[in-house]
A and B are shown apart, each in its own frame.
Chain A
Amino acid sequence: MAQKSLQRRGNPLANTEKQLEILSRGDFETGVLPTFVKQLKRENQFPLKTQKLEILQINLGYMCNQVCSHCHVDAGPDRKEIMTEATLNQCLEVMQNHAIATVDLTGGAPEMHPKFRWFVEQIRATTSVKDIIVRSNLTILLANQHYADLPHFFAQQRVHVISSLPFYKKTKTDRQRGEGVFDQSITALQRLNAVGYGKEESNLQLDLVYNPSGAFLPGNQLALETEFKKRLYDDFGIVFNQLFTITNLPISRFLEYLIASENYEEYMQTLVEAFNPNAVKNLMCTNTLSVNWQGELFDCDFNQMLGLKIDSENNHIGDYTSEGIAERNIQVSQHCFGCTAGAGSSCQGSIA
């Protein structure tokens, strides 16, 4: 597991242009593999266009208490980028004035933002947003006393918690997310269960995210969910609602891993060969708008990490009502094959 972010290590892959260059070269340059644009054209699905906006995904900053080896955000304790209060207010304004069904708070660890609780309370009290998702890495709930009552806060605000847990056993989880992460995640899940999360009789939604611990695609979402539910309940008494399988996209630290382990070419071939045209119409970028810590707009969190802003001159949350935002062509590159492979992939799991 990496100890520091790519940025802190001065790794060339911290540069988004370098990543995009790698994603355009090799088999894509020689024509052995089709580019994503070419593949969409073959399927008569180019250009990819937005549909009705349903999810506003807000990345509160890249600071995190973990340094996971697969992280597409390159998050970590050494990342200091954080959303300002002015930008938080601009996001709130959009939610107050427009019908947005779901707000998805992510990071880094979104809970580490000093205004996190205030922001969640404001969304709940002043907007008509129904579903407030917080993507929690779980270990933050045990990081220090300041976060200990977060399960109660989440329950009080009826937050929908989506947590990463790569596997139901210690070895694989710790290899990907760091030594001790599994035990802490289990304790955190038990605390969330204790306030009602994941229980049938409560309406407190607790979903888990599985992403493969290596250069392979996730298996069948339902089969893995069944296995996770059985193992987590039998071994730890833990319950949860749904398991979302998410494919690792060849970006940032996962790209670093692919290249270092000499799996990059084969992984890209696997993604391209598994292209599923049925996944295209349900891609999350078609109904999501992603906001970064500076208020800039992207089609998804992955494009955000590659610095691919939306295809519009108006590309800031302050421009929300401006032309070119609601209806636009979606920016794509070869990393998009990650979301169209097999059963497809999104922040809400498989899509086809």
Chain B
Amino acid sequence: MKNSYYQPEDLKKFGDIKNWNEELGNKFFDYYNSVFEEGALSAREKSLIALAVSHVVQCPYCIDAYTKDGLQRGIEKEEMMEAVHAAAAIKSGAALVHGVQMMNRYDKLSM
């Protein structure tokens, strides 16, 4: 028995979610595929956004998938790491900005 919640091979079974609800599954994958088509943003740019978001939602499947996707598109490692830093900066900023709430509360309760 495997002793990890995440199994790399499960990524390939993503499509199986349709087995228990085909209608919603199809709607999701249609939406997903449309999102990543060329549009006002290029598919290349969207791939980098997806990679960055994968890190902040901490999805190992998505990180594997979009690192490979980036390699296939010729995205360079420097671009990938900058995208991850952009996401990480927002995530850490989002934590830190709550420090203002802490400061407000502290000041309010203190003499």
Task: For B67, give the chain A residue with the smallest CB separation.
Answer: A216
A155 at the interface (CB under 8 A from B): no
- Given known A-B contacts A223-B43, A223-B44, A212 and B12 have beta carbons under 8 A apart: no
Task: Assess the B68–A219 pair: CB atoms within 8 A.
Answer: no
Stretch at the interface among B21-29, B70-78, B95-103: B70-78
Task: Assess the B76–A217 pair: CB atoms within 8 A.
Answer: no
A167–B74 Cα distance when bound, in Å, is 8
Task: Assess the B12–A218 pair: CB atoms within 8 A.
Answer: no
Bitwise, A204-216 to B at CB < 8 A (1) or not (0) is 0000000010101
Task: Assess the B43–A212 pair: CB atoms within 8 A.
Answer: no
- Given known A-B contacts A224-B74, A227-B74, A216 and B43 have beta carbons under 8 A apart: no
Q: Least Cβ distance of A294 to chain B in Å?
A: 37
A218–B69 Cα distance when bound, in Å, is 10
Task: Assess the A219–B12 pair: CB atoms within 8 A.
Answer: no
Q: Least Cβ distance of A70 to chain B in Å?
A: 14
Task: Assess the A273–B73 pair: CB atoms within 8 A.
Answer: no
Task: Assess the A169–B12 pair: CB atoms within 8 A.
Answer: no
Task: Assess the B76–A219 pair: CB atoms within 8 A.
Answer: no
Q: Least Cβ distance of B15 to chain A in Å?
A: 11
Picked from B44, B72, B76, the residue with its CB within 8 Å of the CB of A169 is: B76
Task: Assess the B72–A216 pair: CB atoms within 8 A.
Answer: yes
A219–B68 Cα distance when bound, in Å, is 10
A219–B74 Cα distance when bound, in Å, is 7
List CB contacts (< 8 Å) of B75-98 with chain A. 76
Could you say which residues of chain A place their CB within 8 Å of the CB of B73?
A: 219-220, 223-224
Task: For A273, give the chain B residue with the smallest CB separation.
Answer: B12
Could you say which residues of chain A place their CB within 8 Å of the CB of B74?
A: 167, 219, 224, 227
A197–B43 Cα distance when bound, in Å, is 31
A269–B12 Cα distance when bound, in Å, is 10
Task: Assess the B76–A218 pair: CB atoms within 8 A.
Answer: no
- Given known A-B contacts A223-B43, A223-B44, A216 and B76 have beta carbons under 8 A apart: no
Task: Assess the B72–A217 pair: CB atoms within 8 A.
Answer: yes
A67–B106 Cα distance when bound, in Å, is 67
- Given known A-B contacts A223-B43, A273-B12, A212 and B71 have beta carbons under 8 A apart: yes
A172–B71 Cα distance when bound, in Å, is 11
Most buried by B among A172, A220, A273: A220
A217–B69 Cα distance when bound, in Å, is 9
Q: Least Cβ distance of B64 to chain A in Å?
A: 10
Could you say which residues of chain B place their CB within 8 Å of the CB of A218?
A: 72
List CB contacts (< 8 Å) of A79-129 with chain B. none
Q: Least Cβ distance of A88 to chain B in Å?
A: 39
Task: Assess the A214–B76 pair: CB atoms within 8 A.
Answer: no
Most buried by B among A167, A172, A219, A220: A219
- Given known A-B contacts A169-B76, A273-B12, A214 and B71 have beta carbons under 8 A apart: yes
Bitwise, A223-234 to B at CB < 8 A (1) or not (0) is 110010000000
List CB contacts (< 8 Å) of B49-74 with chain A. 68, 71-74
Could you say which residues of chain B place their CB within 8 Å of the CB of A224?
A: 73-74
A273–B68 Cα distance when bound, in Å, is 15
A182–B68 Cα distance when bound, in Å, is 24
A22–B24 Cα distance when bound, in Å, is 42
List CB contacts (< 8 Å) of B31-56 with chain A. 43-44
Q: Given known contacts A212-B71, A220-B43, what 5 new A-B pairs fall within 8 Å (CB)?
A: A172-B76, A218-B72, A219-B73, A227-B44, A269-B12
- Residues in chain B within 8 A of chain A (CB atoms): 12, 43-44, 68, 71-74, 76
Q: Can you list 19 A-B contacts with CB-CB less than 8 angstroms, sorted by A residue number?
A: A172-B76, A212-B71, A212-B72, A214-B71, A216-B68, A216-B71, A216-B72, A219-B72, A219-B73, A219-B74, A220-B43, A220-B73, A223-B44, A223-B73, A224-B73, A224-B74, A227-B44, A227-B74, A269-B12
The 4 closest A-B pairs by CB, nearest first: A219-B72, A219-B73, A216-B71, A216-B68
